[in-house]
């Protein structure tokens, strides 16, 4: 099997979040402008020095592998019942269809309805009594509950800094975003894309079809396998692979609620998961190829459930009328997720 050079990767901006913790007000303001400019341009940005160490991310990925290596009969004890409400526990491969969630997607004039080639495990905030978390016995994956509750809080802290910086750059009152996202509805997820044969797979095989996330922003950690692609707005919406990145890099993307709040000023980033770039360029010679398994950890920052997710007044004017109707965050979540089942 001969291996060609991998296709070019899309280079999103990489920013240092520690700049926003500086005592220098001008440095904080400069970071905030750089962040929002990059997010307006691409919908995505990479963040370094965000506060979660490489070792901790590696431990989380290792814990994820331990969980997904358990027999399905064990994971089934905490299986999420498919439906429109916040997900808790384990969801089996094929339980979700982002193609149906992102309703504009069509291929050759036909709407795509295939399910995603991944399984996942979801938790919400530890204090959530309306939609409580579901855990296996401690012996199944030791310390998983304690570790992930702590990881959840660390991700929430990072997201508050990001939203605060966006408030600054968009010249909004302090708390315009952060007060609406107090962690009551955010979700932390383990994703696992199982290994699969490519014997009869088309070259454009998708593990997750193009979509936008439903929340406010998403903070993503991933292993080095690759496959994440984003819509390149600079060249007509073509999807291009993103560098798998170092473990301690965080990929941030804008989600639908932020687009709604800003009345379309900051648009949600469209993305999918396809073949790792190296495999795309090496499919020849008739040899059996295998898509390696992939692990990722997204933190979906969501507005508190009773919060309105219609446009904020600062983004509405006579020349820019509201493009989205008012509704609560939970109503919007239920409406959108119902399309994926």
pLDDT at residue 314, as a whole number: 97
Two tokens, residue 137: 């016995």
Q: Can you list the residues of the chain whose pLDDT is less than 70?
A: 1-8, 94-115, 198-206, 245, 277-288, 340-341
pLDDT at residue 2, as a whole number: 37
pLDDT at residue 267, as a whole number: 97
pLDDT at residue 1, as a whole number: 35
Q: How far is the C-alpha of 322 from the C-alpha of 68, rounded, in Å?
A: 44
In order, the DSSP letters of 252-277 are EEE-HHHHHHTTTSSPPPPEEE-S-H
Q: What pLDDT digit, counting tens, does each position of 18-68 carry?
A: 999 999 999 999 999 999 999 999 999 999 999 999 999 999 999 999 999
Enumerate the β-bridge partners of residue 296: 191, 222
Model-level pTM? Answer: 0.90
3-class state of residue 169 by DSSP: helix
pLDDT at residue 102, as a whole number: 57
User: For residues 187 and 241, is the Cβ–Cβ distance under 8 A?
Assistant: no
Q: How far is the C-alpha of 162 from the C-alpha of 177, rounded, in Å?
A: 10
Within 8 A by CB and 6+ apart from 101, the residues are 211, 336, 337, 339, 340
Domains of the chain listed by start with CATH number: 14-340 (2.60.120.330)
pLDDT at residue 336, as a whole number: 85
Within 8 A by CB and 6+ apart from 65, the residues are 192, 295
pLDDT at residue 71, as a whole number: 97
Tokens 């520690």 found at: 18
User: For residues 123 and 152, is the Cβ–Cβ distance under 8 A?
Assistant: yes
Tokens 């508190």 found at: 304
Look at strands 187-193 and 196-197 and give their pairing.
unpaired
């Amino acid at each position: 099997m001969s291996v060609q050079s991998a296709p070019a990767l899309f280079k999103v901006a990489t920013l240092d979040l520690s700049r926003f913790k500086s005592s220098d007000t001008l440095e904080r303001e400069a970071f905030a402008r750089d962040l929002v400019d990059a997010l307006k341009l691409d919908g995505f940005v990479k963040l370094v020095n965000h506060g979660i160490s490489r070792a901790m991310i590696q431990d989380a990925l290792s814990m994820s592998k331990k969980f997904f290596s358990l027999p399905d009969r064990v994971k089934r004890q905490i299986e999420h019942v498919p439906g429109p409400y916040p997900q808790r526990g384990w969801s089996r491969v094929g339980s979700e269809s982002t193609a149906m969630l992102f309703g504009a997607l069509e291929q050759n004039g036909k709407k795509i309805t295939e399910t995603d080639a991944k399984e996942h495990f979801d938790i919400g905030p530890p204090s959530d009594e309306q939609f409580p978390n579901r855990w296996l016995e401690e012996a199944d994956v030791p310390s998983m509950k304690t570790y992930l509750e702590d990881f959840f809080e660390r991700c929430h802290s990072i997201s508050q800094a990001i939203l605060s910086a966006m408030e600054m750059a968009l010249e909004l009152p302090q708390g315009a975003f952060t007060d609406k996202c107090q962690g009551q509805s955010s979700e932390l997820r383990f994703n696992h894309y199982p290994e699969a044969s490519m014997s009869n797979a088309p070259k454009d095989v998708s593990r997750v079809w193009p979509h936008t996330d439903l929340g406010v922003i998403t903070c993503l950690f991933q292993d080095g396998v690759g496959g994440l692609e984003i819509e390149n707005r600079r060249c007509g919406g073509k999807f291009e692979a993103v560098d798998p990145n170092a473990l301690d890099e965080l990929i941030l993307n804008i989600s639908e609620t932020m687009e709604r709040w800003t009345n379309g000023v900051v648009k949600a980033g469209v993305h999918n998961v396809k073949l790792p770039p190296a495999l795309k360029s090496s499919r020849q010679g008739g040899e059996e190829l295998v898509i390696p398994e992939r692990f990722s950890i997204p933190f979906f920052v969501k507005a508190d459930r009773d919060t309105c997710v219609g446009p904020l007044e600062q983004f509405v004017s006579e020349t820019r009328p509201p493009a989205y109707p008012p509704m609560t965050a939970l109503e919007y979540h239920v409406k959108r997720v119902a399309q994926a089942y």
